[in-house]
Structure 1
Amino acid sequence: MAITSDKHNERIAKMTFASVYPHYITKVEKKGRTKDELHEVISWLTGFTVDDLNQLINDKVTFSDFFNRANLHPNANLIKGVICGYRVEEIDNKLTQQVRYLDKLVDELAKGKKMDKILRN
Structure 2
Amino acid sequence: MKVTEEHNQRMAKMTFASVYPHYLTKVEKKGRTKAELLQVIEWLTGYNEADLQKLIEAGVSFETFFQQARLNANAHLIKGVICGYRIEEIDNALTQQVRFLDKLVDELAKGRKMEKILREEKK
TM exceeding 0.5: yes
**Offset at 1:116?**
0.2
Corresponding residue number in structure 2 for 1:19: 18
Q: Which amino acid aligns with 1:80?
A: K
Moved over 4 A (4+): none
Q: Which amino acid aligns with 1:106?
A: V
- Give deviations 1:40-94, integer Å, cap 9, x for gaps: 0000000001000000000000000000000000000000000010110110100
Q: How many corresponding residue pairs?
A: 120
SS in 2 for 1:32: coil
CA-atom RMSD, angstroms?
0.7
**Offset at 1:3?**
3.8
Corresponding residue number in structure 2 for 1:8: 7
User: Are 2:67 and 1:104 aligned?
Assistant: no
CA distance in 2, matches of 1:115, 1:6: 33
Q: Which amino acid aligns with 2:59?
A: K
Instruction: Work out whether residues 46 and 70 of structure 1, in 8 Å CA contact, stay in contact via their aligned partners in 2.
Output: yes
Runs of 5+ unmatched residues, structure 2: none
TM-score scaled by structure 1?
0.98
Instruction: Work out whether residues 3 and 92 of structure 1, in 8 Å CA contact, stay in contact via their aligned partners in 2.
Output: no
Q: Which amino acid aligns with 2:108?
A: L
CA distance in 2, matches of 1:34, 1:44: 16
CA distance in 2, matches of 1:84, 1:93: 16
CA distance in 2, matches of 1:30, 1:89: 28
